[in-house]
Chain A
Amino acid sequence: MTAPSLDDFVALSVDLTAFGETDLLGTGLGSPYLAKLRGACGDAVVTALFAAHQAARAESAGDPDGFDRALRYRIFSDDCLGPVARNVIKLWYAGTWYGLPPEWTDSYGAQSAAQTSTVTAASYQEGLLWRAIGANPPGAKAPGFGSWAEPPRIDDRYLKGARR
């Protein structure tokens, strides 16, 4: 088995986060996050996750609705891959690796790096959550004096969203 590649990890992450490859690699955290994922889940699970993602892409052949369904069927509803994929999303958004649920570790084994932890001090600062809401991570990347009086920099396409 070859080691899971950064390219496959980034391709998966782009689809899970809706941030572009440049945005993700620009955090400088692609490699540390992949290492964290491998340390927490083991290479067999990571390889299976990447394979499922590629299969979903191939199966849907560019149809967005089909791709969404394929991800739900192959990954999010899967006992093994679902919690791992959700953790990858949270890792990118929050900068924190959250401990996998006990039913997951009971079935697939507890790896050495499985517990909740921050990856590096920088990972909190690079969390995509803050960019998604047009804010800085509290305590870092200060936007400047008085900037808070201006409207937030959130892409127009999110401003008229239907609130649930």
Chain B
Amino acid sequence: MFVKFPQGATERTDKDAAAEVLYDVVIVGAGIAGSIIAAQLSEAGKRVLILEAGPAEDLTLRGYESYLDRFYSSTSKDNQAPYPASLAAPMPRGTDTRRIAPGAPDTSAYLVQSGPLASDTTYTRVLGGTTMHWEGKTPRMLPDDFRMRTLYGEGVDWPLSYEDLAPYYAEAERVIGVSADVEDQSFLGITFDERYVYPMKGLPLSYLDRMVAKDVDGMPVELDGEQTRLRVRPFPQGRNGIPNPAYDGGNGFVPQGAVSTYQVEVGERCQGNNNCVPICPVQAKYHAGKTLTVALESGRVDLIAQAVAYRVHVDPETGRVQEIEYRRYKRPDSKAFTTVRARGRLYVLATNAVENPRLMLASGLRGSSGLMGRNFMDHAYLLTWGLLPEVAGTFRGTNCTGGISDLRGGRFRRNQAAFAVDIHNDGWGWSRGAPMTDLLDLVDNGGRYGESLRQGLVDRVSHQLLLAFMVEVPASPSNRITVDPSYTDRLGNMRPILTYAIPDYTMRGVAYARQLSKRIFARLGAEDHTDYDPNFWGYATYEGQGYEIRGGNHLAGTHMMGSDPSTSVVDADQRSWDHQNLFLVGGGSFPTVGTSNITLTIAALCRRSARAMLTQLDREQAPVQLATAGAPSHREEAGR
């Protein structure tokens, strides 16, 4: 069923009138975190204002197709290719990444990088945020991931356990609409309620996955004295499949299709476009626009786009946030802006683990723990690639349907990082730009044309196998986001500065991953074509071996949660220790990033935090005078 976007919702809120309203909650960011919280709070009758930095129009199929057309017509098909760039709210772009010379930060793009390791990590600043380009894997974190300090003496313990979060995982799986089967996802301590089923049945493994599984299933691995056997296992996916009739005690599940102001008939089951990143052409893949629409439908949520938060103002006496000052620009390419304020009983920063601390630090709010912006985490991706002996039909399916999850946990984590392994259905695309680079090489250097070209393409491309090892990165205070007044963007906002190095713990996992990949290729009878270029921007060496390390866009850790205000920035509800009416939400709250793609856990945490916000709003229900008596009626009219 299509998701009906309320017509005019992106324009119905007048910024000047909104400035005179005291909202229950002001949310910065219309991505998945902000949208989930807005939907949940408005459902409970609360009034919400969302500020979105990116340009925004009503979500319609026609608007979505303009993303798609930009993607088709773009010569670079990177993560941001479909999305309009705004000079007023710039986005990091993978293609901007440069190798960093020691002592010379790369300031050429929006994200300033002081290294030593460069990262191509990105996020998308449009309605729906980075879920517009996300791939859509939705694994839960392992119970062990929440207790890393206790179990392995590495990293930090969460103030929450897996059991605490499990009910919210189930809620998040409903919001996103996850396709998976419990029997495939119960491993390494992950448990489900007895009668739980995912909203939709698992997506089938690809032909390529099955070819790998034929030889890899049962492969023995011994690590730190523990024996395990590998198995190719499907990933849970945030995309529509076949609804499970047993869901919700037999009530079933209705998938959310495409979003539009008018009726459309797309967005049902995944069609295998093999283009989850950077854009699912039919919206079978979840994006936060679906949840944002639910929030806006309530009539209690106002949205102001092209509104870049500039400064968080706090009361020096109480530490409470008084207002968020933002800069509203007229056109994406304009330098001109108006300064506006937004006020609420509660404030939620729901941008991401780069922009949240950027805004806090730009506001002079370093945090009493001194940890604001510190402990930046991402996943370190190591790619290995080879050619299978038989035609595997690479380049079909979703970007990734299966992989190896057996080394996500184990005793070895006292010594080295764990990882999940993706089998990429898009071949060497990520590592070497296949299949276009293969085509160019065969034609320009191979003298191929006609039949010999067609044969060459099948030989070179349809045998491709790429394993992506998603390696955990532990919290390290020196990996951090900072700001500096000498680096600002067009609106005068301080740009984020990333300082990033891969800890040895992770590099030990990387080195092990490379060795394991050689064994896997040998078992498959595959030719190993992995070759790491010393001039690559993410080239890192460990014990004499060099590796290409890529970013995962899994931004985390910069406002870590904890139970002690001196060693964390937010509490288990994602509430700031220093500012009692401020919540910093998203991956930034994670104390560990584990080996799970972060979005499902962000969604679960936000579902949980929204409850804490409702409790706090009820508790703090002191009478408040509205500045202008006319303002509330304005918004109620507009909301219909």
In B418-438, the 8 Å CB interface with A consists of: 425-426, 435-436
Give the residue name and chain of the A residue nearest to B70 (CB): A121
State whether the Cβ of A103 lies closer than 8 Å to any Cβ in chain B: no
Q: Cβ of A132: which chain B residues have Cβ within 8 Å of it?
A: 453-454, 457-458
Inter-chain CA distance A103–B134, complex, in Å, is: 41
With A146-B272, A152-B393 as given contacts, are A90 and B440 in contact (CB-CB < 8 Å)? yes
Inter-chain CA distance A148–B279, complex, in Å, is: 18
Q: Cβ of A162: which chain B residues have Cβ within 8 Å of it?
A: 459
Give the residue name and chain of the A residue nearest to B426 (CB): A138
Inter-chain CA distance A124–B447, complex, in Å, is: 23
State whether the Cβ of B637 lies closer than 8 Å to any Cβ in chain A: no
Inter-chain CA distance A143–B272, complex, in Å, is: 6
Mask: chain B, 248-279; 1 = CB below 8 Å from A; 0 = not: 00000000000000000000011111110001
Q: Are A139 and B204 in contact (CB under 8 A)?
A: no
Cβ of B316 to closest chain A Cβ, rounded Å? 52
Inter-chain CA distance A50–B444, complex, in Å, is: 20
Q: Are A96 and B75 in contact (CB under 8 A)?
A: yes
Mask: chain A, 83-100; 1 = CB below 8 Å from B; 0 = not: 001100110011010100
Q: Cβ of A150: which chain B residues have Cβ within 8 Å of it?
A: 207
Give the residue name and chain of the B residue nearest to A121 (CB): B72
Inter-chain CA distance A132–B279, complex, in Å, is: 24
Q: Cβ of B210: which chain A residues have Cβ within 8 Å of it?
A: 149
Q: Cβ of B204: which chain A residues have Cβ within 8 Å of it?
A: 146, 148-149
Chain B interface residue count, CB cutoff 8 Å, equals 59
Mask: chain B, 427-468; 1 = CB below 8 Å from A; 0 = not: 000000001100110011001011101111111111100000
State whether the Cβ of A104 lies closer than 8 Å to any Cβ in chain B: no
State whether the Cβ of A116 lies closer than 8 Å to any Cβ in chain B: yes
Of the candidate stretches B53-61, B396-404, B607-615, the one touching chain A is B396-404
Inter-chain CA distance A134–B462, complex, in Å, is: 8
Q: Cβ of A117: which chain B residues have Cβ within 8 Å of it?
A: 75
Inter-chain CA distance A136–B449, complex, in Å, is: 21
Inter-chain CA distance A164–B204, complex, in Å, is: 32
Q: Of B68, B207, B443, B456, which is within 8 A of A148 by CB?
A: B207
Q: Are A148 and B396 in contact (CB under 8 A)?
A: yes
State whether the Cβ of A47 lies closer than 8 Å to any Cβ in chain B: no
Q: Are A154 and B274 in contact (CB under 8 A)?
A: no
Q: Are A118 and B269 in contact (CB under 8 A)?
A: no
Q: Cβ of B393: which chain A residues have Cβ within 8 Å of it?
A: 134-135, 148, 151-152, 154
Tell me the interface secondary structure of chain B in the complex: loop
Cβ of A116 to closest chain B Cβ, rounded Å? 6
Q: Cβ of A71: which chain B residues have Cβ within 8 Å of it?
A: 449
State whether the Cβ of B394 lies closer than 8 Å to any Cβ in chain A: yes
Q: Are B454 and A18 in contact (CB under 8 A)?
A: yes
Inter-chain CA distance A118–B269, complex, in Å, is: 30
Q: Cβ of A140: which chain B residues have Cβ within 8 Å of it?
A: 72, 273, 275, 281
Most chain B beta-carbon neighbours within 10 Å: one of A71, A139, A150? A139
Q: Are B68 and A139 in contact (CB under 8 A)?
A: yes
In A115-137, the 8 Å CB interface with B consists of: 116-118, 120-122, 124-125, 129-130, 132-136
State whether the Cβ of B73 lies closer than 8 Å to any Cβ in chain A: yes
Q: Cβ of B281: which chain A residues have Cβ within 8 Å of it?
A: 139-140, 142
State whether the Cβ of A22 lies closer than 8 Å to any Cβ in chain B: no
Inter-chain CA distance A17–B442, complex, in Å, is: 13
State whether the Cβ of A61 lies closer than 8 Å to any Cβ in chain B: no
Q: Cβ of A143: which chain B residues have Cβ within 8 Å of it?
A: 271-272, 396
With A136-B396, A142-B281 as given contacts, are A151 and B207 in contact (CB-CB < 8 Å)? yes
In B59-110, the 8 Å CB interface with A consists of: 68-69, 71-75, 77
Q: Are B396 and A147 in contact (CB under 8 A)?
A: yes
Q: Cβ of A76: which chain B residues have Cβ within 8 Å of it?
A: 447, 449
State whether the Cβ of B348 lies closer than 8 Å to any Cβ in chain A: no
9 other A-B residue contacts (CB within 8 Å) besides A118-B75, A145-B271, A163-B463: A89-B449, A124-B72, A124-B73, A129-B457, A133-B462, A135-B393, A148-B274, A152-B391, A161-B455
Offer 9 A-B interface pairs, CB within 8 angstroms, sorted by A.
A15-B450, A133-B457, A138-B426, A140-B275, A143-B271, A146-B204, A147-B396, A148-B274, A152-B207
- B: residues with CB less than 8 A from A are 68-69, 71-75, 77, 203-207, 210, 241, 269-275, 279, 281-282, 387, 391-398, 401, 425-426, 435-436, 439-440, 443-444, 447, 449-451, 453-463, 527
